[in-house]
Structure 1
């Protein structure tokens, strides 16, 4: 039987997310407050007894010049993705509801991992000149259920989206991430899972007197200075300080422990900073920043190990380093970041990616053309 979908309150939405072991930080109600350029709607799926069975945060962005918008559910919705009647029971009511709300296209990101590569496999692949992308490398494990979900989506008219950026209309989240599993592992197990370089650097930072402390909202300007320096060095576009202040206020108002800030001090100077996000038992390293000064005291390893330690204390089942490049070409500057994350042990993971459903094919095509020429 098809589920009934309707708008729910933020409190209902949050209560459902809290009842789950994990959900993306982009599928909690407060994430809408982080994105003021998008309207939002909290969606709820109800069974025939009136019990809430799933939720979704839909972000709505108007198309320039007309009263129609793109509907985007980043890393969501939070539903039963493995249901054999996924398209009919879960997705059809969502499409009908969003079309009624004026959406011309729907984009979503199933939180389903299709393939994984161990840290050792990634390390060997980077060293192999014949391997150019992760896709060239046989995975350590593969979930056949993910292929079935993708087949159901295609059969129902969904299209796999091209990778994009987070801002404006080029909505998109990383398809490849790096995760360290924590479930059933002691802190000593996690330390032993680090590669030799990581363990050496953590020890070096401790011996050099690097101190990692938790900061608050008032420390965000210090973080942002380092973040801007990192962006210039690593060639990526920055977000303004106001974005992080808004994120802090929105997320910590919803849950005081939803967002944390860590700072690595050395001789009175902050050399590195990072943000940590938590929903249920899933913990994400969200944004990182570091100075080019005194890199020899290894503040980045020190701050990551402190965050991993605290995540373990929180009862996390996974520590998520977020996005990685899928290229293995040594000439790409992002490979260094991949190597750093792989040094923590764990595994690279590939999600099913994001999927589009054009509710109005003409407007959807117009958006494609707009984004191409932009």
Structure 2
């Protein structure tokens, strides 16, 4: 009844995954090209000759000729079908033995809970997904459980996901809308870039790395990602032309001063409004005059690199020049990403992981855009070499902890 095939085509795999409600960029065949420091294989699973499950597998070489296999956000299959689940796990284990695999790690695109931040404590767990855990455990997989720390798993178990809709900004909190206006007032313009803009994007990411003390990716990596994914790669850039904006403020000030001279003393309300506008514009002129001394032309102050797969999107990398944090470029960028995604029939744009405590800085920032917070079911292991499995797990966890300290 069931068979499997090693090395199915990228087209067959991608078509199957895109049609699934478990579609995820990390299961796209091109993702393995991005992660080219790992090996890769695609395995299709068939019932009576029809593809019913698929997995793009990353292969990590280990010392002494051993390997670890990792299936990010996969395999893609019906986890409610016990016979299929058992066959897939058994087949993966058999394949792992041919690769001298110690264990296979996977984290299915199965959502345990979804909620608005205000409902986090009361949102129920999906009973169907919990039954899938039992199916996987019965088939021989070990569940890591309800982990909370973002560093405990390879992929975040908690994420902030924005479901696209027309006029989405109307659902944002008031302070988000205010900061969106502040970005416009400071002359922030958001555009979609291309390969020629990668250098400038890499610069703002590098500034973010230095500020946060984290290691993200370099220009070559971003260029490779945009080349491989082509039109499915979305590079959004927030720019400002400081000299031009300064000239506009100076023109505004001249007009306000002219209006003040032409306003009679008894027009108290108008005079108050004009004087408030004058004070605001003078503040901008002072601020921009200092910037123009350092930056004398249009420049990129922030950016986001996202990638589409099917009808879903992952917002993967972001950076900002901290000199311009009061320009609030993120509040111009993120709404534009969501709008462009909606226009391209993308149903959700994942802003990325957050801590399970939901009280970290990332959660607070991402909450500004009214996302749905989502909990994945988490990670599973399939022991292949049972003799070395526990030792290899200890080594893997130790290496992960050391990596997350940096």
Q: Does TM, scored on the shorter chain, surpass 0.5?
A: yes
Report what 1:61 is aligned to. 60
Q: Does 1:33 align with 2:36?
A: no
8 Å contact 2:25–2:313 — kept in the other structure? Answer: no
CA distance in 1, matches of 2:6, 2:148: 29
Of 327, 338, 341, the match for 1:311: 341
Report what 2:90 is aligned to. 92
Of 188, 192, 202, the match for 2:170: 192
Q: Does 1:180 align with 2:162?
A: yes
Report what 1:343 is aligned to. 368
Instruction: Give matches, 1:259-338, under 5 Å.
Output: 259-267=233-241, 268-329=298-359, 335-338=360-363
Q: Does 1:138 align with 2:122?
A: yes
Aligned positions, number: 342
Shift of residue 120 of structure 1? 2.8
CA gap of 1:214–1:38, structure 2 versus 1, over 3 A, is same
RMSD value, Cα:
2.5
Deviations 1:100-138 (A, max 9, x none): 33322101111000012313335xxxxxxxxxxxxxx33
8 Å contact 1:22–1:280 — kept in the other structure? Answer: no
Greater Cα offset, 78-87 or 147-156 = 78-87
Unaligned segments of structure 1, at least 5 residues: 123-136, 330-334
CA distance in 2, matches of 1:296, 1:176: 29
Aligned partner of residue 322 in structure 2, secondary structure: coil
CA gap of 1:235–1:165, structure 2 versus 1, over 3 A, is farther
Shift of residue 294 of structure 1? 2.2
Greater Cα offset, 304-313 or 231-240 = 231-240
8 Å contact 2:13–2:29 — kept in the other structure? Answer: yes
Q: TM-score, normalised by structure 1?
A: 0.84
8 Å contact 2:22–2:76 — kept in the other structure? Answer: no
CA distance in 1, matches of 2:197, 2:144: 37
Aligned partner of residue 340 in structure 1, secondary structure: helix
Shift of residue 218 of structure 1? 2.7
8 Å contact 1:227–1:288 — kept in the other structure? Answer: yes
CA gap of 1:152–1:51, structure 2 versus 1, over 3 A, is closer
Report what 1:131 is aligned to. none
Of 198, 201, 204, the match for 1:223: 201
CA gap of 1:25–1:165, structure 2 versus 1, over 3 A, is farther
Q: Which structure's residues are more often helix, by fraction? A: 2
Shift of residue 96 of structure 1? 1.9
Report what 2:215 is aligned to. 237
Aligned partner of residue 200 in structure 1, secondary structure: helix
If you compute each CA radius of gyration, which structure gives the higher value, 1 or 2? 2
Aligned partner of residue 350 in structure 1, secondary structure: strand
Shift of residue 373 of structure 1? 4.8
CA distance in 2, matches of 1:368, 1:95: 17
Shift of residue 84 of structure 1? 3.6
Unaligned segments of structure 2, at least 5 residues: 242-297, 400-406
Q: Does 1:201 align with 2:231?
A: no
Aligned partner of residue 274 in structure 1, secondary structure: strand
8 Å contact 1:212–1:306 — kept in the other structure? Answer: yes
